Structures are given as structure tokens and as C-alpha cells.
Structure 1
Amino acid sequence: MKIAIISVSDKGQKLALNLKEQLDDDSTVLKTDIYHKNVKKHFPYLFYEYDAIIAIMASGILIRTIAPLIESKVTDPAILNIDDNGNFVISTLSGHLGGANKLTKKIANLIDAIPVITTSTDVNKKLGIDVLAKDLYLSIDNTKEILFFNKAILDGKKLEFTINPEKNFKYLFEYIEKVTLEMDVSFSHSNDVNTNEIHVACDNHKIILKEKSIVVGIGCRRGKECFKIYEGLSDSIDKLGIHISRINMLSSAEIKKDEQGILELSDKLNIPVNFVGLDKLKLFESNDIQKSEFVYSKFGIYGVCEPSALITAGFDSKLIYKKTSYDGVTISVAISK
């Protein structure tokens, strides 16, 4: 997640700097940039360049500024509103698909504030269909149906989930079982459903949830043991809330294609691994990857885990977990569009 923090007062700027310092240590946050004053000038840029905007200012200023920019719950960034004293963190826009509700709770915890969330499903302790999709990294084929399904959930109606019997959907079952918010569901199986899809039906309405491709990029020192690589992978997906069965692919550079630790991990987890050619890695460009001069001096490429994950996840993919080191192992996670 790329986060912009914008403030208008000196007190707000001080709070922004404190918040940035904490977020910079979070591997799920790719970058945090700070902006100060000139709200009307900055917002049209921030709105399209960041996944989330934290506005430390009066709500009136924020609402008047974003009103002309709002387009859709599918594309609008998450927007949070914080008062100068840091007493309240308010989820203002894109609470579910944009992740504002979840980010609100995280930020409130970091600055010891009160989180304010107003979405109907949340306040009524129900699990929205779009929350489920966001948490499990699923796309929604017809976002216009979200309103119907969330109203059905609020009304206590049962949702019928249909999945392919050949696919391991342990991540879905465990999520439904563990989540604290309520959703009344039943499951059925059909070979007519694609293995990467979940069909949800209620009262002649249907919505299709489709897995985005999740790729774990791996870099490691020569001879690193399988269990050491697994420890790094396990920690990263735990922080993202991803079940092991939700991972679609492992990835690394072709220089690691004989690395027994990676090959053994792929075999034990039953997750395929893609080794990306050096020519592709040399040509790959992204402002989001962390460049290593050491790796470049040895192999002529600026990195292994981040670029290999992004290339494997496909065009327009993005990082959701930046390169993080685990005792000689580096892990990143990318997701397809």
C-alpha cells in the first residue's frame, strides 16, 4: 500500500511525521509520503497516485476537497480523516474495497486514537461480501451487485457459495470459520465453476469472486535451508492475513533454479515455482522495487525477490509486501491486477 499523509497545521504536521516513522517500518506499506498545506493543489494528484490518503485536518476541508474527485467505490483510494490532536481516526471513503476501515483500525492503534467506522455491515457486526473479497484478494465481476448482497447479509439471508471440488479452498473455509463478523453461508460443488472462482448466489442474484494471482518472491543466500525460507514466507503471509493455500506461485531468479531450499519448499507446499530469466530481470523497471548495488555487482540485476514476483504476477501487478530480510532470506509478495 502506498500512503500519502497530508496536514494543514503545525500540530498536524508533527503528527504526520510521527505516523510516517511508524509506517516506514511496516512491510505491508511500500512507501509513505508527507504533504503539507496547499490541500486543493495536492489532492488531485494524491487521489490517483496513492492507495490511501490520511488527511489530518477538519472534516469540512477534506469533504469539500474530495467531493469533485470521487468516482467509484471500486477505484477511489482509501481516505482517512484525523483531527489535529490525534483523538479520532475516521474512515471516510472506500471503507471496504479500498481498505479504509482496516487501515483506520491500524492507524488508530499506532497513535492511540479512537477508530470511527460507519459502514452498515461493520456496525451491525456482519461480514460484507466486498470485505470478504478484499481480505481474500479476490476480484468482483459485477460490483453493482455488492449493494444487493450486503443488504441480503444485513437481512440475515443465506448465501450459496459454489466452488470447484478439484481446488483447495481451505483459505476460504478457515476465513469464514474464524471471522468475527456474521455471514450465513452454505457450500456446494460444481465442476462447471472455474478452479479460481467462487460463485455466490442469493435470491436469483449472482456474483463471481475470482482469485487474483498471489506470488511470493524469494531471494536467499546459497545453500539456505528450506525451513529457513519457510519461516520468512510464513511471517510475511501472516502479516498480510494470507492463508498458505491462497498462494498461487513462488518465484525467484533463474540463478536460483538449482537452490535446493526453494525447490524443496515448492515441493512440500505443493506450490509451483517460476524462475525468471536474467534478461527479463535486467530489462524490468519499476519505481516500487528496492535496488541493491551488491546484487547488481554480482549478477547485473538490482534485485531478485521483488522483480521476480512482479514479473511472475503479470502486467500491472503490484507489491503488497515489500522486500523484507529474514536471516539470509528475502521475501516479497506481489498480486496481479
Structure 2
Amino acid sequence: MTEAKRNRERETAVYAYTERGRELAARIEELLREAGYRCIRAEVGEAFARSEALVFVGASGIAVRKIAPFVKDKFQDPAVLCIDEYGRFVIPLLSGHVGGANELARLIGRQLGAAVAISTATDLNGRFAVDVFAKKNGLAIMSRENAKRISAALLRGETVAFESAFPLGEDEKLPAGLYAGKAEEGRLGIRVSAAAEIPPDTCLQLIPKIYALGVGCRRNTPVELLKHAALRFLKEQNISKDALFMLASIDLKRDEPAVRALASHLELPTRFFTAEELAAVPGEFETSEFVHKTTGVGAVSARAAAACAPIKIAGKTVVDGATFALYRKEFTPTFRTERPFVLIAGARYQGKRRFAERLCREGHIAGFRAVPDEVLEALTDALLREERAAFEAELSRWVCSLAEGARNRGEALLLSSIGGGLVPITRRERALRDAVGRLQCALAAAADEVYLLELGLARALKKFGESV
């Protein structure tokens, strides 16, 4: 990752062109800062080049004209969103998946209570998105064309092979459309691997950036010599240069031309450690008396790599007079991206469970569960105490807990309506009815999608945050 790419992470610019728009923009900036973003002030062109996201408050036409001269492609462009000045609609305009515009739109939409207009096909059809999977796991996409072909195949209902050189977690399940296996002749496949060999034409290789390259060399080592030696070392280890995330060495090499040129060639950030810092790295390392006299520590390349990542792949290795070492970070691919929070409401025996089972089969949700009785009892007790502020606090606490749990597990919540019919005789039963009604309203406001089941028919009241 280059310095420019690292600087743009979590950096956002917000633009507004009217008084009302500027008021909303200030509110959005506050929400983004609370979510861990850095809000900057910059011209559109500068922000487009350096930031992770641009948010325009105002007409979408203004946003389109402002960004038009700078648009390249979805693998390079930042996320671009447009929000009307009343804060009713959030529209991802550019880089919905790779740039994270859809995810950011949902975040802002939830905070503002705004409708989110998602238009990407894989989201709308509940299909696995390979570019989102790659972004979430820090994987480099080696073929943009194959990524597009795989998305198109999944949208057509076809299946795609999936293999990984790194074991999945025990409870991980392949999403709908993927099956475990290697790509067959003439069929598309996905491979998660750091290997340097070129995959078949029909296979999309996704490379995790988890390897740290340690480097040591004599002073004034020729630039080309060090570069060729490093590439030869990586080839011998069968590790793609795209799998590297860091080049590390001792601080005495900070200004060594060959080391700086190698980092530039590999497009890697650098870390330089003092002799004392390297000596403090735990582990067994092959040492050299000459290196110790020269630098103050007996091992440079291996200790520097080990300081960046814990798993040893190759210790000190001499190639053409230079020394290299390779260590990597822990890595377990996961399909767990943030799914929409789905609420399924309706009276008893209207088909809520069957509709949830259908959403599971389609891969839209991972499971479902009813709102626990303890939640309804706690809210009923709070209502009976007739302390409005206390009830609102209890309601907010439960809604946050239920929504967070549902999102983390990818589950839908089922909640039965009990507001019809005769008014109950007992005070507690009346309070229970009121508690359920208020909980439904609060959960619907927090949910990304809300479905109402009547007579076995599902009616979408809200989808991707948009009322329908």
C-alpha cells in the first residue's frame, strides 16, 4: 500500500451549496467523526485524488458535474454520495462496492433516518459480491475482467467454484452461488492465494496483503542488483509481490538508494527499526558477527520482518549478496460482511417464518429469530412504571442491542403485531400491547428493510432504507 493510499483511509470531504445544505453538512461531518472518519476541507479535484469518500449535500446534478473530470473506474475512484438538503434520501453515485459508497450510505442513512437508494445489481438481488468480499478481507483483485464476469454469472443464477489456500473459520459457510472446488475447464472460479504462479484464464485470483519483506544489504548496493535479488527471492518462495504489505529494515538503511528504490518498485510503505528495537524482537534468528559489528544487531532482515508480522515463512536468506526474510500475519478469510438489518412484522399465522426461510434460501439473510419475550416483558414493566424518560431509555437500549445482534449475525428479527381486536381488560395486557407497538416503530426506524406479512403475502414497507 502506498503512502497516498494509506492517507486516504477514513478521510472524507463534505460539500454543500445552500444555507440549509451547509447546516445538514455540519451534522453529517459530526456523525462521520463519531464513526471514526476524518473530515477535510479541499477542492473537489484534490479530495477525489486523496480521500476515501466525497459527500455532496444538494442536487445530484451538481455532484455529477463536479466529479465528472476526475472519474476513472470503480477500482480507483473514491466513494461519492449525494444527499438532498432535507436529509431524506442518501444516494451512492460512484464506487458502491470497492469504494464503500453503499456501506457509507447505509451508515449515514441510519443516523439521519434517511432513505438509502441502492442501485448495484448484486445488492438488489441478494447475490455474493466478489469485490465487496475482496475489500472486506484486504484482497487484491488480480483480474478486473474476471471479477465482472463472476458477478454477471452469479446474477444469472450460475454457480462459481471457490478455493482458498487459507482455511476458512469453522463456522464459515459459502454464500449462495459458490461451491467448494477448483475452477473446471471453461467454468469460472475464485482462488484466494498468495502464490506467484498465474492462475487459469477462468480463475480470479484474490491475493491477501499479509507478508512483510525484511531486507538487509551492504552500503551502496546497486539498485538493479537488489531489485532482481528481491524478485528472485519471492519467486523461490512462490509468493506474489502483490501479497506484500511492508518492506522493513534497520534505520541505517533509511536513506540507502537501493532500499528506497526497491520499496518504490514494489509500491510498499517502509518501516525502519533501530538496533535496540530489532534486538528486542523475540525469537531465534541466525546471526552474523560482521553484521553485529556494523549495525549493532546480529540479524537485520529476519528481525525486521518479524517485527512486522508473527508467522515465519522464510528466515534469513542470502541472494546475490543481499539478505531477505519473509514473515506473514494471521489471516482467515471471512464472508461476514454487514448484512441489512431486516425486520419482519405482521399478526400471528400470517407467514412471517415462511418468508424468512425464503430469504435464507436466497442468501439474503443468514437466519432469523423472534424478538425474545424478555424484551417485551422488560418494556412492559418500564411502561407500567409510568416514567416516560426511563421507558424511552429502556426502549433505546433494547433497540440498539437487537439491531447490533441482528446485523452481526446476519439474522432477521420477527415480531408479531398484537394491536388488533378488543382492548384488553387488564392493565398489564394493555401495556404489553403498547410496548409491542412502540418497539415495532423503533425497530422499523433502525432497520434497513421492513416487511409486513398479511394473508401470507409479503409487502416491503422499507428496503435499503427506502420506503416503498
- Report the TM range for the smaller structure's normalisation: 0.5 to 0.7
Contact 1:57–1:84 (Cα < 8 Å) also in 2: yes
Q: Of 173, 189, 207, which residue of structure 1 is paired with 2:204?
A: 207
Q: Of 11, 36, 44, which residue of structure 2 is paired with 1:2?
A: 11
| Cα-Cα RMSD | 3.6
Match of residue 11 from structure 1 = 20
Q: TM-score of the superposition, structure 2-length normalised? A: 0.40
Quote how far apart the aligned CAs of 1:33 are.
2.1
Match of residue 188 from structure 1 = 181
Match of residue 45 from structure 2 = 44
Runs of 4+ in 1 over 6 A off after TM superposition: none
Match of residue 327 from structure 1 = none
Quote how far apart the aligned CAs of 1:194 are.
7.8
Match of residue 168 from structure 1 = 167
1:1-337 pair list within 5 angstroms: 1-27=10-36, 29=37, 31-34=38-41, 42-164=43-165, 167-170=166-169, 174=172, 176=173, 183-188=176-181, 196=194, 205-213=202-210, 277=273, 312=308
Contact 1:17–1:34 (Cα < 8 Å) also in 2: no
Aligned in 2, Cα 1:123/1:22: closer, same or farther, shift over 3 Å?
A: same
Quote how far apart the aligned CAs of 1:15 are.
1.0
Matches of 1:20 and 1:135 in 2, distance apart? 24
The one-letter amino acid of 2:168's match is F
Match of residue 333 from structure 1 = none
The one-letter amino acid of 2:19's match is D
Contact 1:5–1:16 (Cα < 8 Å) also in 2: yes
Matches of 1:84 and 1:93 in 2, distance apart? 19
Aligned in 2, Cα 1:44/1:124: closer, same or farther, shift over 3 Å?
A: same
Aligned in 2, Cα 1:87/1:149: closer, same or farther, shift over 3 Å?
A: same
Contact 1:163–1:187 (Cα < 8 Å) also in 2: no
Match of residue 430 from structure 2 = none
Aligned in 2, Cα 1:13/1:154: closer, same or farther, shift over 3 Å?
A: same
Aligned in 2, Cα 1:185/1:57: closer, same or farther, shift over 3 Å?
A: same
Q: TM-score of the superposition, structure 1-length normalised? A: 0.55
Deviations 1:116-154 (A, max 9, x none): 110111111112211211222211001122221111010
The one-letter amino acid of 1:9's match is T
Matches of 1:187 and 1:87 in 2, distance apart? 43
Larger Rg: 2
Quote how far apart the aligned CAs of 1:16 are.
1.3
**Secondary structure of residue in 2 paired with 1:118:** coil
Structure 2 unpaired stretches of 5+: 1-9, 184-190, 213-243, 246-270, 278-303, 310-468
Contact 1:153–1:184 (Cα < 8 Å) also in 2: yes
Contact 1:7–1:16 (Cα < 8 Å) also in 2: yes
Matches of 1:280 and 1:70 in 2, distance apart? 47
Structure of higher RCO (CA pairs closer than 8 Å, 6+ residues apart): 1
The one-letter amino acid of 1:210's match is I
Matches of 2:181 and 2:130 in 1, distance apart? 18
Aligned in 2, Cα 1:151/1:194: closer, same or farther, shift over 3 Å?
A: closer
